[in-house]
Amino acid sequence: MNNRFLKRAPLPALALAGVLAPPAAQADDPFLQRVLIEGARASQVGVADSAGMGSVSRRQLEARTIYRPGELLEATPGLVASQHSGEGKANQFYLRGFNLDHGTDLRTTVDGMPVNQRSHAHGQGWTDLNFIIPELVARLDYNKGPYNASTGDFSSAGATAIHYSSRLAQDQASLSAGQGGYGRVLLAGTRERAVADAPGAWLYALEAVHNDGPFTRGDNFRKLNAVLRYSDGFANNGYTVTAMAYRGAWNATDQIPQRAVDSGLLGRFDGVDLTDGGQARRFSLSAAWARSDEQQTTRASAYIINNRLELFSNFTYFLDDPLHGDQFAQPDRRVTSGFEASHSWHEHAGDMAWHTTVGVQAQNDNIFNALQHTEARRVLETTRADHIAETSAALYLEQHLRLAPWLRGEAGLRLDRYRFDVRGRDGDAGGAARADATLFSPSVSLAFGPWSRTEFYFNAGRGFHSNDARGVTQAQDPATPLAKSRGMEFGLRSEAVKGLQTVLAIYKLDFDSELVYLGDAGSTEAGRPSRRYGIEFSNYYKLAKWLSLDADLAFARGRFRHSGPGEGERIPGAVEGVAQLAATFTPAGPWSGALRLRWFGPRPLVEDNSVRSKASATLNGRLAYKLDARTTLELEGFNLANRKVSAIDYFYESRLRGEDAARADVHFHPIEARSFRASLSRAF
């Protein structure tokens, strides 16, 4: 879709075209760039297909205070990112009543590349975002619920898509320092191609980070990031080729038992096994291409990703091995490759407009991972070691149709085919096992209105998450290869009051098999069917030209649908409520700033609800001052009230050295103590 079509098409066609434009377009798209930057928040009335769909601009993301890159996803209303270990480990995510562990049921992509890792050594859907450089993010798109035929695996609770810029408005250098041994250096910029008739550009970025955190034994997190991209043209007519490299290493202060803190044996920021930690590497090469005219759009992308992880954890201390301890290693190395291609036709006639998209996706993971018993990172024995080949292909069809100025809809069909191949290695006697599965997933969305700048939505659809190949192919009690979900949602979006954007969603989501986190094993297993009801209420108010307010509230009820004798119906870790309240100040002078209060609601920790986590609230803020037109000094503050609360809680049995028996207890990881970071940035 090029600018000629946008100028000539009537309003209904423009609104319909916008349905697919946000996920695919880049920040340098001439049309979308104007909408996203000139407005403080882009209007979604007449564009979005559901109340759970939205887009967050670069300007909004810059106003957020983030402790770690994974917290960028908290720009999605109702989503919380947490951590229970060292800084280099993937975040924990919570959304729509789910403890999503390290990413299961939350699909995340970066410029079309999948971030979720299937059949991972530590957790299904592992989503490590430490390779993200926030200054390069042009936009974050999100949609919640299984109502989008193009997203597929891991997207039942939601899907987020991070888009990098192809050009920066100005080159920039940044130097940051803060408490807890924090330091960061960034250099990023764009070099235009010299040939006049070929408007290509090179984008580069280099980042180095160190962070100890507040822990007694510092995390000593060392991170190096690099990005190099060549682009020619624009998002709808052009191409990009991108190389990324990331390397990180860290110590980990994992969750600790509450009893040890209560007795004075441990402080809040102490650890039990001081040899926990890990290192990770990620290298990727990707390319994207698009061509558009007045009636059709063709897109294609491909990628190859090399991921490596060495992770050492000890959650139960001396429960299973009183002599050597219970530390275990979960090494994982893989090469992930894949592609996606789609073709769209768009037409209009009077008030009617339609948009048809056919797409194909394929992904292959070649994986070597293991579970090992270790002591001080030295391997004592190998529990299992596997070579996994997991391959999937999908075909999807999306039909958008505007029947009248007040009625539009979308119907989607998706067909997935998976193959799992697991072979024991390194002397493991597990042999070889294979499994395959096919799944058909329909979806439908209807939008009514707008009337008085208010529209209403109905959405229904099926989604799924794939299960770990090792569980799928095990001889005894194999897990369902593809666990199906069924969702339904009613919503509204209103801009009836000048300056106020309001979104309300009421949803239900059923799963055939709930993935349950096992605290003592550091893994997940397929559990009983589950159901969640919930309500989300989001508001953005432009109170004045220099002041905006955000209020995002979400509440959920999660239960197992089947409970046998002695089984409770609560889902451990299922969050019951989250909220974010924020104020952003952008006056005409050199000062700007923001304050953000995040409330993380209570969760049941066991099935019978006899043990629960406490709610927590934290306040973060930022204050910036422009020294001149090109130089900015910024101060960020985290946990400003210095609340002594948990980032995450679990309940399971463990045994400390000197204890004569296992003890069931709450194990927690603390929120970081109050800290500050100062940054000096220079554009050139």
Question: Which among 48-62, 425-439, 519-533 has the top mean pLDDT?
Answer: 48-62
Tell me the pLDDT tens digit for each residue of 99-141. Answer: 998 999 999 999 999 999 999 999 899 999 999 999 999 999 9
CA distance linking residue 399 with residue 357, whole number of Å = 6
How far is the C-alpha of 66 from the C-alpha of 89, rounded, in Å? Answer: 16
Quick check: 554 pLDDT over 80?
Answer: yes
pLDDT of residue 198: 62
User: Which are the contacts of 122, defined by CB distance < 8 A and separation ≥ 6?
Assistant: 102, 309, 311, 313, 330, 332, 522, 523
Residue 420 has pLDDT above 60, yes or no: yes
Distance CA 93, CA 83 (A): 9
Nearest to 316 by CA among 87, 657, 660, 608: 657
- How far apart CA 469 and CA 118 sit, in angstroms, is 8
What per-residue confidence (pLDDT) applies to 528? 87
Q: Residue range 496-518: average pLDDT?
A: 88
pLDDT > 90? residue 222: yes
Give dist(CA 676, CA 684) in Å, integer.
26
- Of 240, 207, 210, nearest to 222 (Cα)? 210
Residue 72 has, within 13 A of its CA and on its CB side, a CA count of: 31
Listed range (29-38, 123-132, 545-554, 584-593) with the worst mean pLDDT: 29-38
Nearest to 471 by CA among 428, 519, 435: 435
pTM, to two decimals: 0.91
379-402: average pLDDT: 96
Under DSSP, the state recorded for 69 is G
Secondary structure string (H, E, C) spanning 456-507 = EEEEEEEEEEECCHHHHCCCCCCCCCEEEEEEEEEEEEECCCCCEEEEEEEE
Residue 68 near residue 631, CB atoms below 8 Å:
no
> For residue 234, what pLDDT is reported?
86
Residue 521 — pLDDT band, cuts 50, 70, 90? Answer: low
Between the alpha carbon of residue 552 and those of residues 415, 526, 562, 621, 670, the distances in Å are: 35, 31, 32, 17, 24
Q: What is the phi-psi region of residue 51: left when phi exceeds 0, alpha when psi lies from -120 to 50, beta otherwise?
A: alpha
Give the gyration radius of the chain's Cα atoms.
Answer: 24
User: Which pLDDT score is estimated for 309?
Assistant: 97
Structure confidence at residue 567 (pLDDT): 85
CA 603 – CA 660 distance, rounded (Å): 30
Tell me the pLDDT tens digit for each residue of 226-259: 999 999 988 889 999 999 999 999 999 999 999 9
Q: Averaged over 283-294, what is the pLDDT? A: 96
| Joined tokens for residue 391 | 């391959």
Side chain identity at residue 372, one-letter code: Q
Q: What's the confidence (pLDDT) of residue 40?
A: 53
In whole angstroms, what is the distance from residue 240 CA to residue 231 CA? Answer: 4
Tokens representing 53? 């769909």
Identify the pLDDT of residue 24: 37
Q: Which helix (H) or strand (E) holds 36?
A: helix 30-38
Kindly tell me if the per-residue pLDDT of 683 is higher than 90: yes
Which pLDDT belongs to residue 514?
Answer: 80
3-state SS, residue 631:
strand
Given this model, what pLDDT does residue 5 score?
A: 30
Q: Read off the pLDDT of residues 136-195 as tens digits, 9 standing for 90 and up.
A: 999 999 999 999 999 999 999 999 999 999 999 999 999 999 999 999 999 999 998 765
Mean pLDDT in residue range 63-76: 94
- In tens, the pLDDT along 7-61 reads 333 333 333 333 333 333 333 333 233 233 333 577 888 889 999 999 999 989 9
Q: Strands 158-164 and 106-110: what pairing? A: parallel
pLDDT of 1 strictly over 70: no
First to last CA, the chain: 34
Q: What's the pLDDT band for 274 if we cut at 50, 70, 90?
A: very high
* DSSP, res 265: S
Place of tokens 């991070």: 162
Burial per residue of 479-503, b for 16 or more beta-carbon CB atoms within 10 angstroms, e otherwise: bbbbbbbbbbbebbbbbeeeeebbb
DSSP 291: E
Residue 516 confidence (pLDDT): 61
Residue pointed to by tokens 């000593």: 220
- As given in the structure block, the two tokens for residue 13 are 């066609």
Residues in the chain: 684
User: What is the β-pairing status of strands 113-114 and 631-638?
Assistant: unpaired
Other beta carbons within 10 angstroms of residue 589's beta carbon come to: 9
Q: Is residue 572 a contact partner of residue 605, using CB atoms and an 8 Å limit?
A: yes
Question: Is residue 507's pLDDT more than 60?
Answer: yes
Cα separation, 494 vs 452, whole angstroms: 8
Q: What is the DSSP letter of 673?
A: P
Report the share of the chain in percent with pLDDT over 90. Answer: 81
- Predicted pLDDT of residue 125: 94
Of all residues in the chain, what percent carry a pLDDT higher than 70?
Answer: 91
CB within 8 A of 454, min separation 6: which ones?
Answer: 45, 492, 493, 494, 495, 496
Examine the pLDDT at 415 and tell me if it is beyond 60: yes
* Listed residue (378, 353, 443) closest to 146, CA to CA: 443
How confident is the model at residue 11, as a pLDDT?
33
| Whole-number pLDDT of residue 582 | 96
Estimate to the nearest angstrom the gap between the alpha carbon of 276 and the chain centroid: 25
Q: Write the pLDDT tens digit of every residue in 319-364.
A: 999 999 999 999 999 999 999 999 999 998 888 899 999 999 999 9
- The pLDDT, as a whole number, for residue 33 is 32
Residue 661 gets the label, from left (phi > 0), alpha (psi -120 to 50) or beta, of: beta
User: Which whole-number Å values give the CA distances from 664 to 52, 257, 258, 519, in the listed order?
Assistant: 39, 9, 10, 12
Residue 61 three-state SS:
helix
Which helix H or strand E contains 13, and what residues bound it? helix 11-24
Beta strands 591-600 and 113-114 are unpaired
Q: Which of 41-45, 96-100, 209-213, 313-317 is predicted with the least confidence, judged by mean pLDDT?
A: 41-45
pLDDT at 429 over 50: no
Neighbours of 131 (CB within 10 A): 25
Pairing of strands 675-683, 172-178: antiparallel
Average of per-residue pLDDT values in the chain = 90
- pLDDT higher than threshold 80 for residue 522: no
Q: Which residue has the tokens 């080159």?
A: 171
156 touches 487 (CB < 8 A):
yes
